[in-house]
Structure 1
Amino acid sequence: MEAALKTFFSSPRFAVAGASSDPTKYGHKIFAWYLQHSLPVTAINPRASTVTVLKKDHSTVSGPSSLPDPPSFSLSVITPPKVTRELLKEAKEAGIPAVWLQPGSFDEEGLEYARKEFKAAIAGDGGEGGEGWCVLVDGEDAMALAGRKWSKL
């Protein structure tokens, strides 16, 4: 998993699929985490043209293939398993090299696909939290592992 974490945080840019304006949703919390760590992040939400996070509106794109230069992104996924499976196929076709599937965002089929098709797939058992690998819990340690510097807002 160490190699996957390094690969994920070596990307120059990040995207959050499932980004939301609703502060009770994990898509909101994870998008905010990237912003709070001064990381270049793009929101993916096919149903909204913007999301409001940390009192600011952020433009969204409709899917991984709509990102500018998708191979330069790592993708955090916070969508229901059925949506995740289709999202992963689009991300693979777009050339995204690394994905982080948040707890609850995948089923066995999605997890197997991610592990087989991406250079790096972070998901499943492990990490410091009881639910499995989570950016909110494991992100800072993973960034340090990758030698990525950040300044928390």
Structure 2
Amino acid sequence: MKSKIRAFFGANRQYAVAGASNNPSKFGYKILNWYVLHALPVIPINPKEQEILGQPVVSNVSKIIDAIEKHQDLDSYKTSKVDGLSISFLTPPAITAKTLEEISKVDGYDKVIKGLWFQPGSYDQEVLDLAQKIGEFEKVVHEDECILVRGEEGLVAANL
């Protein structure tokens, strides 16, 4: 798992938080805040919010993948020059599965996605099987790994 955590991070990487929240008691807020505090380029994903922690929200992950794949900026985000996307999931397993299905329909997703971090509670066996089916399982961090606990280690391992 250590090599997957290291590979999740990159010097020229775009990050996204699926299930980002404006509620400070939710992990969708705490993990987005972790990225912000580490000055990592992060995009909150939430279909119901406009802004979280001063970051403009994107309604779905497809928009981000498409922008990166086409080397275009997305709103105020400089996605045109990144080397790929790593996503932290804080959604319930059923929503995580729908998001993976959405990802698999975007042309070039397999080149854009560099890491999928399934936070505790965001995945079940169906999600893991789906990640395998779409060819992304080798990029998955799971097994109850939390970025709030192991993220620092990943940043150090990636020389960030």
TM-score normalized with structure 1 length: 0.82
Structure 1 residue 98: deviation in Å?
A: 1.4
Deviations 1:101-133 (A, max 9, x none): 000001111023224521410011xxxxxxx20
The separation in 2 between residues aligned to 1:97 and 1:112, in whole angstroms, is 18
After TM superposition, give the deviation of residue 5 of structure 1 in Å: 1.5
CA RMSD of aligned residues (A): 1.7
1:62 aligns with 2:98: no
Show structure 1 runs of 5+ residues with no match: 125-131, 149-153
The 3 A distance-change label for structure 1 pair 115 and 142 is farther
AA of the residue aligned to 2:37: Q
2:130 to 106, 113, 127: 113
Gapped regions of structure 2 (runs ≥ 5): 70-82
Q: How does 1:53-92 map to 2 (within 5 A)?
A: 53=53, 57-67=54-64, 68-69=67-68, 72-92=84-104
- Whichever residue aligns with residue 33 of structure 2, its letter is A
Map 1:2-151 → 2, pairs under 5 A: 2-10=2-10, 12-51=13-52, 53=53, 57-67=54-64, 68-69=67-68, 72-94=84-106, 95=109, 96-115=113-132, 117-118=135-136, 119-124=138-143, 132-148=144-160
Query: SS at 1:69's partner residue?
Result: helix
2: CA distance, partners of 1:26 / 1:106: 15
Deviation at residue 78 of structure 1 after TM alignment: 0.3
TM-score using structure 2 length: 0.79
Aligned residues: 137
Q: Secondary structure at the match of 2:24?
A: coil
Q: Which protein is richer in strand relative to its size?
A: 1
Shift of 1:50: 1.6
Give how far 1:72 is off: 1.6
Q: Give percent identity, aligned residues only.
A: 37
Tell me the distance in 2 between the aligned counterparts of 1:139 and 1:6: 9
CA distance in 1, matches of 2:132, 2:32: 23
Distance 2:155 2:43 in 1: 18
